[in-house]
Amino acid sequence: MRAGDQLLRLFSYDMWANEQILLTIQENIPFEGDEECIHSFAHIVGAQELWYARITGATQDQLEVWPEHPLPVALQKLKTLSANWNRLIDSNQSELDRPISYKNSSGTPFETMLSDILHHIIIHGQHHRAQIAKMLRNAKIDPPGTDFIFFSRAN
């Protein structure tokens, strides 16, 4: 499988896993810690928005790393981002190792390969979904299985 095709599959997984966690949060509101779960979920969205802007050179002025998106807004943004990631990967199939110059949230300049940034986005989302799963467990709610293997078996 080509690297770009693997990244497309990982971004499909990411969207699937985000939808699984979002549905579980929505189905159980209100619960102890629901606001923290929503805040962490919105962060997944905010980070993706920020990285997409960095990669494409779009303005980041209105973007927040920790936005306050309600779940329906967060889901819609993720659907838009999912389509954007697919287009970006498709159009960069032969240039996935090209360097991307950007500044982090503190203004420090960096240069990172596009493929490394794309992998980071997937790993970052999984990290925060795991945190949300722990919050759900603490509220006595069974979190959904969002491991990649569950996605692979279903797709």
**pLDDT (tens digit, 9 = 90+) per residue, 32-62?**
999 999 999 999 999 999 999 999 999 888 9
Average pLDDT, the chain: 95
Give dist(CA 25, CA 76) in Å, integer. Answer: 16
Residue 155: the pLDDT is 82
Which residues fall in the annotated binding site for a divalent metal cation?
A: 43, 124, 128
Looking at residue 93, what DSSP letter applies?
G
Residue numbering of the annotated binding site: 43, 124, 128
For the cut 90, the answer to whether the pLDDT of residue 2 exceeds it is no
What is the CATH code of the structural domain delimited by 3-154?
1.20.120.450
Q: What token pair was written down for 121?
A: 């986005």
Q: In the prediction, which pLDDT does 1 show?
A: 66
pLDDT value at residue 4: 87
Q: Please list, residue by residue across 43-54, b when 16 or more beta carbons sit within 10 angstroms of its beta carbon and e when fewer do.
A: bbbbbbbbbbbb
Model confidence pLDDT, tens digit, residues 87-139: 999 999 999 999 999 999 888 999 999 999 999 999 999 999 999 999 999 99
Taking a C-beta distance cutoff of 8 angstroms, is the pair 93, 2 a contact? yes
pTM for the full predicted model:
0.94
Question: What single string gives the DSSP state of each residue in 107-137?
Answer: S-EEEEEHHHHHHHHHHHHHHHHHHHHHHHH
